[in-house]
Structure 1
Amino acid sequence: MRLSKPRIPPLADADMTADQLAAVEPLRSGKLGVLNIFRTLAHAPKALDRFNTWGGYVLSRRNDLPAREREIVILRVGYLCKSGYEFTQHTRIGLDSGLTAAEIEAIKRGADAGWSAGDAALIRATDELHKDHFISDATWAELGRHFTTKQCMDVVFTTGQYTQVSMILNSFGVQLDAGQTLDPELKGY
């Protein structure tokens, strides 16, 4: 975690305005509930509403990447951005989406950590987008050998969304939700 306390504290329900409560209401019925990220973003309820619309696309079946492959991208972004909150949340989601604990550990090591060619291409594409905001011709071609054009687009959309999420989490100082444990490699970031 980059910050040991929030710069923008998460709002308790009792401290929210009617607009803020309306912005978090759809999250209450979700699998994860109203997490600290959403309680923090509730300070800007109109932004939270739009954030949830786009984020909902990235995490839905409308994103053509299978859930496991999507989580490889998200976890790699979280790790590269040194976002302890993001990596922690998506470790659980990744496990639920078919990744193993060993694979999640290997995500931190990169594309040459014993992955299949398709998985390695996802990690390379994510690394290139993180470093240069561009996927090289060679990596794009390799992605195309394993994924459809729409899935390749969704790699870029997912990387972009979770880069933004990581910037938000890191800069606002969003702290882990109750019961979560930070990956030791992300302590002090």
Structure 2
Amino acid sequence: MARIDYCDTTKSNERTREILGKNRNANIFRMMAHSPSYFEQYCRLGGAIRHKGELDPVVRELAITRTGILCEAPYEIVAHKRIGKNVGVTDEQNEALENWQTATCFDEVQRAALAFADEIVKLKKPTDATFNAIASKLTPAALVELQLSVGFYIMTSKFLETFGIDMQPVTEVVS
């Protein structure tokens, strides 16, 4: 159960209601709507991460889901396993993300991206070896996009857990 009430969207401005409608009034967004300007900018960056740029969507979603796992954010894990499946992440890959290091279903780029995500979440910064491994496989733009994706979803995971955001029904799309 959420730690504070969700925003009463009947009192929200038109732009906030519009963004909420585009995002199916998902609980995470109903909570963020308490701060309309932050909410709008959060959605702009989230949209860029998920729909623009050159980073392979499968790599992105594997890294995002792994971030949710490491941040212990079930809402994020469920949401991005579903989103990942829609962009080509296999069921086997989704199931293997907890212990990806021993799994054989990830290619070299995916493994390097997962190691990168692990170290961003767990360490102050990735080691040189991990950074160089992924940097040798991605363009500078894709590398920046991967780092920003992981960082954005660390923030998102922490937001979800801080406010105790309630899970969405399975049929709804979330963050």
TM-score, structure 2 normalization: 0.90
Paired position in structure 2 for 1:134: 125
Q: Which runs of 5+ in 2 are unaligned?
A: none
Shift >4 Å, 4+ stretches: none
Aligned partner (choices 54, 59, 67) of residue 50 of structure 2: 59
1 CA distance for matches of 2:152 and 2:48?
A: 10
SS in 2 for 1:146: coil
CA positional deviation for 1:27: 4.1
Matches within 5 A, 1:1-189: 5-14=1-10, 17-19=11-13, 21-29=14-22, 32-62=23-53, 64-114=54-104, 115-179=106-170
SS in 2 for 1:119: helix
Q: Which runs of 5+ in 1 are unaligned?
A: 181-189
Q: Kindly provide the amino acid, as one letter, of the partner of residue 66 in structure 2.
A: R
What is the aligned-residue identity percentage?
27
1 CA distance for matches of 2:116 and 2:38?
A: 28
2 CA distance for matches of 1:25 and 1:130?
A: 33
Q: Retained in 2: the 8 A contact 1:112–1:120?
A: no
SS in 1 for 2:46: helix
SS in 2 for 1:104: helix
TM-score, structure 1 normalization: 0.83
Q: Kindly provide the amino acid, as one letter, of the partner of residue 164 in structure 1.
A: M
